[in-house]
Structures are given as structure tokens and as C-alpha cells.
Amino acid sequence: MQNYWLIKSEPTVYSWEQFLAEQRTFWNGVRNFQARNNLRSMKTGDLVFFYHSVKNPAVVGIAQVVREAYQDPTSEDTNWVVVDLIPHKTLTKVVTLQQIKTEPILQNMALLRQSRLSVMPVSAEEFGKLLEMGGL
């Protein structure tokens, strides 16, 4: 059963464009237990919205999980894990935070309710709505 997620990245640190150029990445740097638990729950084939935070905040693309959680190679601390991701689709139109805030179906998203969480689940309904808003 496929699940949906959303991950945040500051585009000045790691952008969707860099991800497209690399074609595959391990998602490191998560240092929050709730976000870590979400990473651990990701399954191969799950789809993950890629959100640019801070500068022009918006959902810009969709990634796919190709390897489930394993020890973060950039940390000795066994608390931290990464998943491997590949680009799935670039949104035809980015969906801005402003648009998300004004869409009734998306009001319960953790993105709005828990602004500092960097890895969060997305419901099937929210996923569908975001796809539509993204022009896919």
C-alpha cells in the first residue's frame, strides 16, 4: 500500500533542480525524532512531495522512495536515518504556501499546523488535491 509524504528543503541548501541533476539522493540531515519516525515509515514506491522552504515557499515536485530507512552515512549517531529518493515528476505549476493556506481541503496538513516539522505524512485526499493544483 502506497503512502504519501512531504519533505522540506531550503533551496539554497538542496534544491529540486539539484535533485533533478543528480537523479538520486539520500535524504540526510533530519535531526528531529518525529521527522525521523516518519522517514522510518516510508516504504519503497511511496511518493514524496518536495517542498522548498524559506525562499518562495512552495511544493515544486514529487520524489519516489527507492530505498527504505538505513543509518545516516553522515552521522555516527544511530538515532538518525536516511532514505534514498529519485525524482518522479516536476509539478507543471508550483503550489505555493499561500495557495495551500487558502485551500479548505489542505487546512489540516502538518505543513500548516506544525510549521517546523520537516518530514510529514500527507493523506491520499491531500495528495490528490495537490496534484490537481500542481497541474498534474
- The set of cell numbers assigned to 113 is 499546523
Q: Is 102 a binder of DNA (CB under 7 A)? A: no
Neighbours of 94 (CB within 10 A): 19
| CA terminus-to-terminus distance, the chain | 21
Q: Which of 1, 78, 104, 116 is the binder for DNA (CB under 7 A)?
A: 116
Q: Is 114 a binder of DNA (CB under 7 A)? A: yes
Contact by Cβ (8 Å): 25, 45: no
Beta bridge partners of 32: none
The residues in 30-69 that bind DNA, with binding defined as CB under 7 A, are 31-34, 53-54, 57
Q: Is 107 a binder of DNA (CB under 7 A)? A: no
- The set of cell numbers assigned to 102 is 487558502
Gap between the Cα atoms of 106 and 104, Å rounded: 5
CB of 11 to DNA, least distance (A): 10
CB of 21 to DNA, least distance (A): 22
Of 73 and 77, the one with the shorter C-beta distance to DNA is: 77
- Count residues near DNA (CB under 7 A): 18
